[in-house]
Amino acid sequence: MELCFYKLHGLGNDMIVIDDREGRIPPYDMPRVARKLCNRRLGIGGDCLLVAKNSDLADIAMLVYNSDGTQAQMCGNGIRCFSRVVYEAGWIPYDGFTVETLSGVKKPQLLLMDGEVRSVRVDMGVPSFLTGDIPMDADEEEFIMRPITAAGREFMATAVNTGIPQLVVFVDDVRSLDIEKYGLPLEHNELFPEKTNVSFVEVEDRRTVILRTWERGCGATLCCGTGATAAAAACMKSGLTDRVVNVRVPLGSLRIEWDGENNIYMSGPAEKVFEGKVII
């Protein structure tokens, strides 16, 4: 089967977008397709695959598959890139559309210039710190600034759900941290029955934090939108930052805004790399 595809990235977190609104790919075959297309030697290469589907709840639906074939509820960088393709490819001919995800319906706001999408602001919903919502096997109602151990080292961490499970780990020098060493055991920590993303965070000042990410099903990535949202929310929850935070990653930054009670917003770029056709 031949498919058209789009390759994009959000600050280095790269992904492939395909249109399956006609249902040509059987659901059972999606994990194989994701592994094939995301393979960096034998496929297109990407951290995840985003699949456009029809929706009864919104204008369009987005399914997210990690590079290992597992399915995720949401992808923050992904929905920005997905929204750019949806608009510029003409799948939906207006910019006020809604997107159904497994973590709820999202309404991206597109910043347009000469008909092209320059950046996207996304309503990420209300972050939940309740361990039952994350989900997390813990006696506490919330896991905020609590100790957790990985590879023989103890960290202070906060757990939160920003569409998918997130563990925000606070460190003094995130640039020198070996996230390969600590990311995997934290992802698979027994407290998280569905595994978790891990965001290693250094607070630079009241308006800036530095982030390095480890994503479940992907490993180390250059950026994670839901992780940046989680990192900012965790910092705000503990009073470490103001209510508007720039989350710095290796290739730029995301802007996160939250009043502490209602929905949290993420803004950032969605860059096109190339498009083409592929055989699956």
Q: How far apart are CA 183 and CA 246, in angstroms?
A: 23
Residue that the structure tokens 């490993």 belong to = 219
Hey, which bits of 71-132 come out as E strands? Answer: 71-72, 99-101, 104-106, 108-113, 116-123
Q: How far apart are CA 120 and CA 110, in angstroms?
A: 5
Q: List alpha helices for the chain, DSSP H.
A: 30-38, 76-88, 179-187, 225-237
CA angle, corner 70, sides to 67 and 75, nearest 5?
A: 70
Q: How far apart are CA 121 and CA 164, in angstroms?
A: 19
Number of residues written out for the chain: 280
User: Residues with Cβ < 8 Å from 28, sequence gap 6 or more?
Assistant: none
Catalytic residue among 38, 75, 218, 223: 75
User: Does 224 participate in catalysis according to the annotation?
Assistant: yes
User: Does 75 participate in catalysis according to the annotation?
Assistant: yes
Catalytic residue among 38, 48, 223, 224: 224
Q: How far apart are the first and last CA of the chain?
A: 6
List, by residue number, the catalytic residues: 75, 224
